[in-house]
Structures are given as C-alpha cells and as structure tokens.
Chains A and B, each alone.
Chain A
Amino acid sequence: MSKISLKNLSHSYLKSQVNKEDWALRNINIDWNDGGAYALLGPSGCGKTTLLNIISGLIDPTEGQILFNEEDVTNKNPVERNIAQIFQFPVIYDTMTVFDNLAFPLKNRGISEQEIKNKVEEIAEMLELTSTLHNRASGLTADGKQKISLGRGLVRSDVNVIMFDEPLTVIDPHLKWILRSKLKELHQKINRTMIYVTHDQTEALTFADQVVVMHEAEIVQIGTPVELFEKPRHTFVGHFIGSPGMNILPCKIDNGTISLNGNKLETKIDIKNNSFSKTEVGIRPEFIEFNESGLPVKIIKVSNTGRHKIIDTVSESGKIKVIAKSSTNIPTGSAYLNFKKDYTYVYGDNWIIE
C-alpha cells in the first residue's frame, strides 16, 4: 500500500552514546518499495529486530525519520501506522478459539461481523486451519500456534507492510520448507510489502527478491541474492553469504599493482594510491581454478559433498578454500591457483574498492 523510507535513522538503548558500540543502529537509509519481498539478514545482535520494531512503531528511534508514502510517521503508534508483525515465538491469546484469535485484530478495529467471518475463513483456508477453527488455540502444537500468529498478521487486507521476525524458529525443519513456500506464495497472491528477518541465509535467499544485509548496526549491502553472491560490497557479506564463504586475504597495493605476498594479481580494479589502513583481496571459492602456474599453495584436505569438492589449501597469505566439480582431478601436495579476474575484488577497510 505504500513505500516505506527510513532517513538517517539511528538508535541507541543507552541514554548517552560515546562509542560506536553504543549504537544499536547507525545511520540507516533505505527505501522499501511497495509490494517488495525483502529479507533482513544478519547475525544475532546486529540490530535486525531493533530496525523492525522501529518500522512497526514499537520503539521510537533516537535519531532520524520514518516515512510512509512521504508522510512522516516517526511519532505515530503501531495502530496508526497500520502494519502487521509476526514474532519469533507464537503469540496467541490462550483463552480464545482459533477463530477469535484470527478475528481479534479486526474486532479491535470495529469491522462488521459478516466481514470478519469471511476474512477469517479465507485466511484459515489459506493456512489450513479450517478444521481446528473452533478449537481453543492453547491446545494446538507449536507450528499450529505460529500459523495463528501468521494468520493474525495476514487477516487485515489493508496493512502497509507485514513484518516477520524470524517466524520459523520454533517450526520443525520439514514444516519450515512448507510454511516458507506458503509465505512466498502468499506474497505473490496478496502483493503486499513483506520484510522477513532472519539469520539464516537459505531462508533469506529463498524468500526475498531483495536482501538487506546488516552487520554491527549498519546496513552493509542491499541487493538480489545473485548480486550478494557475485559482488559482495563488504567483506562481511562475502563470508556470511555462501557456503563456504569468500576467501579474504591480506594484500599489498603498490603503484596500482595488487600482490599477495609477492604474487602479482590480475583484477579489473584500477587503483593508484592506497590510503586504507587495511587492504584485502576477496575471491569466492567457486571462482578459483587449479592451473599449471599461479599462486602456489599446499593442499591440506579435500572434502567431497557429492555435488562438488571443497578443497582446503594454504598459501603464504593464508588459507584458501576452493570449490571444484566432483569430477575434477585434484592435484596432491603442491598446486597453483588462478583467480577469475571478473570475480576478484579488492577491499579497503572492509569496503569494496571500485
């Protein structure tokens, strides 16, 4: 229903902020387009839930603005913002039936009985809750309860955004797949903005069109799953996404020449002067090949996952992981590695240099 913009948003749970670490969120600027499926990905404690609670209005930000369709809603409460949020643990009203649970957000907004009945039945159908609709909600299993939580978020058709805060934590793995694809299906059906918070990259990459990666209170990259994989803009994105993650190796930059411990490296990057305190080369294991010449390494371990082989090697600059097809013959002992030029990036103080 609307575009959500966060402008120069910062938040701290402390009364006064001295260090960088005192902030739970630092200078967040982002636009969530109407109807998008977003994932908010990051490790525990990076500020994902804080960001979500600020969008929903449960927390007032220390600094910055929240705009819904260019209208400032920073000081409005969750009801006025008209949003839906689903929490990590199932939140149900124990004393009510499943039907009353689903109808609760509608009843509180004074919607007519008939309309409530139609809407609740539609949602129950979608979530396969019809058979238990008139049972007491407290008797359901954990995933049944979480479905009710989801249902309460979906039952209002006019919400600006539906936010999920790691909603599948308590669900069994096989049901996780089912519910996640259900959510994806729902998104296509009702076409509402959805923000899905998770620390699980598989969940984020399968659910979202756009993934927002957070690290230490900041947004480090926003992009499609392919962009995050092929061109991480921050070393954190490199090793957080992908399994195994990106190889990050310390490098030297001299007069535009990039070298790993004396071995000159070919990249697309044209860099003259180096003003960074730390420079690193990043290359994904998928984009490294064995060759007759190149970076000399020793092979430590080869693990076969069935689909491909993961080879642990060590060079003078540090450990390097390589992914090769299962059919590849892996040399033993010493070998030489070639990095694909198009996928070799250089990072200055953790941020990509272009």
Chain B
Amino acid sequence: MNKTVNQKAWLFVIPVFVLVAFNAIIPLMTVVNYAFQETFGNNVFMWEGTRWFKQILLSDRFHAALGRQILFTLIILFIQIPLGIFIALTMPKEGIGVSVCLVLMSMPLLIPWNVVGAMWNIFALPDIGFLGHSLNALGFDYNFTQQSGDAWFTTVLMDVWHWTSLVVLLSYAGLRSIQPAYYQAAEIDGASRWSVFRHIELPKMKKVLTIAILLRFMDSFMIYTEPFVLTGGGPGNATAFLSIDLVKMALGQFDLGPAAAMSLIYFFIVLTVCWVFYNLMMKNEGQS
C-alpha cells in the first residue's frame, strides 16, 4: 500500500509543539543556559563552560544530599513494595469489602502533598501532636524538629502512609487479572502458599510491579513538598534531599549557575536510572 505524502499534516502538530515548547523545552533550555554562564543580573551573561558542573560534582554538599536522597529512596522502596504486595494479597476478592478497601486505599492518594506535610507536622509535634505526644508519653524521647533520627523516621512514615496505597492498588489490579485456573492447577499440583506466590502471583504481577517501582522511584527521588512542609530539610541538613537542597541553592542563595548545573545532573540521574531499570525488567519480555 502506498502512503500518501501530505506535508500539511505538520500543521496539526503545531498546537502540541507550542504547548510542549512553553512548558518543557523553553524552561529546560533556560536552565541549560544558566548552567554554562554566570550572571549578575541585568541580562548580562559571561561564559563559564563546565565550571559549575565541576563545582557541583566535586562538592561535599551535593554528595551529602545525593547520599541522603539515595538512602531515602531505598528505604521507602524496601518498605512500600513488599508492604504494598502484602496488603494487596490480604485484600478481599469479592463482596462489599472490595469497594470499601479500594476507597480507603485511595484516600491518602487524593490528599494534596502540602496538606500531607502539614497534617504530619501537626500529628507528629512532640507537645500537642497525637503521634509525638503519645510517643513521649510512652517514654520515647521523640522530637522530630530537633533530632535527625526522629526527623527521618517521621518523613519515612509519612511517605509510607501517603504512597503505599499506590503499590497496593497496582498490585491488586495485577492479582485480580490472574485466571482462577492458575490457582486451581496449583492446588491440584500440591503447591504451597509460598510456591503459589513465587511461581504464579509474582511473575504475573511483574509488569505492574515494574510500573510501581518506577513511579515510586521517580516520585521519592524528586520528593519536595512533603518534607519541605514537615521538616524544612532539618534539623540542620538532616532531611535536605536533593530537591530541597536545590531550591535552597537557587532561591535561598541565588546561585543560579550551580543550581542550574545541579538540576541537569539531577535530571540526568533520574533518567538514567529509569532507563536502565526498565530495560533490565523488560529484558525477557520479547520471548513471550
């Protein structure tokens, strides 16, 4: 079949192109512009080459923020993925319980991020917050505004509360799509509960779990609003993750050049990790 050539079709792409240009390409190019130059205002720029990149990549401050970020993301992935799968496995499969559970699970996902931060801030306050006050009453020396361990604990707990539901919902959808015959065959084959999970449920959930891990990686790696409202990155720099540190540098100190270079490095890390991870997970998919 011959395809007709009609260059006028490009006209239809223009609206999308304009939209993408204004919300992605132009801002990104502005950042690139800042990353290679120095400015003191008045639209006067001086070429700096790769200086800001070298400065960021060699700075202890960036290393520390990156380290905190990686640690945070690993912790929440190791908690949320298994916990999400576990909750999805224990959720009812039919009846009124299904809707009740699904609504309850969706609730945290519907709350705006800064509200989540504010809620947990008040909830965890050591003197008046329910969590903070109870912990202290039970004899724990808990104060997330002053002790970095407590700040981490609270931030992780908040993120688990906020986002585990997403993993639950995705896993649940994956589990529901498994044909009953698989469970029946496993029952007849004498498979243990663990075997059913390991050889039927987990492989069938592979695709949704890949999506869940990717989404949770990206969101947690770029987390900003909730810890900003909860701890503001403190105490000290204890919970200053990459994005919080970036905003401090760009808007607090107005170091636009280094901040722009850091943005690009940050962006590149997220992109690379997602690409590598996705390709690893999907490596064997071509066969089936």
Interface residues, chain A, with chain B CB atoms under 8 Å away: 53, 56, 58, 77-79, 83-85, 87-89, 91, 93-96, 104-105, 108-109, 136, 138-139, 149, 152
Contacts and interface: CB of A to CB of B under 8 A. Distances in A.
A105 B190 contact: yes
A87 B185 CA distance: 8
B189 A105 contact: yes
A108 B188 contact: no
B179, B182, B188: residue with the most chain A Cβ atoms closer than 10 Å = B188
B191 interface: yes
A109 B200 CA distance: 18
23 contacts: A58-B184, A58-B188, A78-B187, A84-B188, A85-B184, A85-B185, A87-B184, A87-B185, A91-B181, A91-B185, A93-B203, A94-B199, A94-B204, A94-B288, A95-B199, A104-B191, A105-B189, A108-B191, A108-B192, A136-B287, A138-B287, A139-B287, A149-B185
A87 B190 CA distance: 16
Interface of B: 179, 181-182, 184-185, 187-192, 195, 199-200, 203-204, 284, 287-288
Given A85-B185, A87-B185, A139-B288, A93 B190 contact: no
Contact of A93 (B179, B199, B287): B199
Give the 10 A-B residue pairs with the shortest CB-CB distance, closest first.
Answer: A108-B190, A91-B185, A87-B181, A105-B189, A138-B288, A139-B287, A93-B199, A94-B203, A79-B190, A78-B188
Nearest to B202: A95
B136 to A, nearest CB: 48
Given A91-B181, A93-B200, A95-B203, A56 B188 contact: yes
Contacts of A94: 199, 203-204, 288
Contact of A89 (B181, B190, B192, B200): B181
Contacts, number: 58
Nearest to A104: B189
B190 A91 contact: no
Contacts of A91: 179, 181-182, 185
Given A108-B189, A108-B191, 6 more contacts: A56-B184, A78-B188, A84-B188, A94-B203, A108-B190, A136-B287
B189 to A, nearest CB: 4
B188 A85 contact: yes
Contacts of A139: 287-288
Nearest to B184: A58
A109 B192 CA distance: 10
Nearest to A86: B185
B184 A53 contact: yes
Given A56-B188, A87-B185, A108 B179 contact: no
A83 B185 CA distance: 11
